[in-house]
A and B are shown apart, each in its own frame.
Chain A
Amino acid sequence: MACIRGERPVFSGVSFSLDPGGALALVGPNGAGKSSLLRILCGLLRPAGGTLAWDGAAVDEDWAAHRQRLHYVGHLDAVKPTLTVAENLDDWARFRGAARAAIDALQALGIENLADVPGRFLSAGQRRRLSLARLVATPAPLWLLDEPTVTLDAESAARVATMIAAHRADGGMVIVATHGEIALDGANRLDLGVHGVPADMLLADQEAKPEDDAW
């Protein structure tokens, strides 16, 4: 799989697979393409080449089904300042087709006491926890998390680690972009550092698209 972001080839020759209960830690320096890869995996960004498959079937054939089986938590928390914590969470559950958000979602992140507080009064860490509560509010087998613990205190980060462990114990999968702040037992590591891509892979990728050489 290759990615071109803002005309810049960010990475190429990336290949991985993940089994139920598995976890993948995306590591690499800033700009290596961790966020871009996550956005490709959830369909917000189109890859410059390569395929994405689920159970052997190409995801291209049915993006709607693919979106249903994933949760994506990016850098932005999607919290509306004028809606309360409970309303924010409930909306996202409904937009995913659920009747309502699971009651224990706020508890899992220790913000159940904030349920009636409008989003504008939340701190950055609380907003992030609300954003992560979406993961529990509606079930989805694949979690795509972009530096999920970056604004969290140690206690909340531990809660997230517990959530991920429970999710994996249920057969869920997690792909986390991280600088190593979060503990993932037995996770595979995918280093997207520019120097981690073998030179022959870069060349091979270019040969695969000769039309670009003409430019």
Chain B
Amino acid sequence: MVGVFLRLVGRELTLALRGSIGTLMTVVFFVIAVTLFPLGVGPELGLLSRIAPGAVWVAALLAALLSLDRLFVADHEDGSLEQLMLGTLPLELVVLAKTVAHWLTTGLPLAVAAPVLALLLNMSVDGLVILVVSLLLGTPILSLIGAVGAALTVGLRRGSALIALLVLPLYVPVLIFGVGAVEGAVLDVGVHANLSILAGGLVGAVVLGPLAAAAALRMTVE
């Protein structure tokens, strides 16, 4: 079963790498979105370093949202999803495998790109490290919650707009604790509480997210 799981993750990665420029697009969107903030609020360094944690996190959150609508829809349209549902791997693990692949192609590149962008916003070095850590803990939660939203809207004609409405309110806690950790580092008031909560949230999301997404898929794919 572990072999099948890894095989599915590998297949998804292959598809993402061979497929389109979708993966690259997420990071490019992230870069452009962050650079809009100085243009919007002005280049004053003090102000930029104050909004840097929030700006980077909000941009990352929106970028993670970008590719969600294809998570199940592509497989639904070509019949792969129903074949996966008929395979040996339980649907919950199918969801988890696809989510892991989604994170590896969106969340992980975002976390890698984030420090460079944060430098553009005048973030201190202490903040950079925690920014990466908080993104590494937080973006998997975004992918897992996003998978639920994607599963709920499979088969709908205008699913992608709906996903944003369903998922963004649920992203609020991730945003708060992610930004909280980075601000804690920048202001040197401690980051452990925020990071622990993010880690706890990740554990909860890994357990509950695939359950809810699989339940939703069983209903939307008939």
Contact = CB atoms under 8 A, between A and B. Distances in A.
Contact of A91 (B11, B82, B88): B11
Nearest to A90: B7
Nearest to B10: A91
Q: Which among B8, B77, B86, B221 has the highest number of chain A CB atoms within 10 Å?
A: B86
Chain B interface, >50% SS class: helix
A95 interface: yes
B4 A95 contact: yes
Contacts of B87: 67, 92, 95-97
B79 A70 contact: no
A44 B86 contact: yes
Interface in A31-77: 39, 42-46, 64, 67-68, 70, 72, 74-77
A44 B221 contact: yes
Contacts of A92: 83, 87
Chain A residues touching B, range: 20 to 34
A82 interface: yes
Chain A interface, >50% SS class: loop
A68 B11 CA distance: 21
Interface in B134-172: none
A91 B8 CA distance: 8
Given A44-B222, A94-B4, A82 B18 contact: yes
A39 B79 contact: no
Interface of A: 39, 42-46, 64, 67-68, 70, 72, 74-80, 82-83, 91-92, 94-97
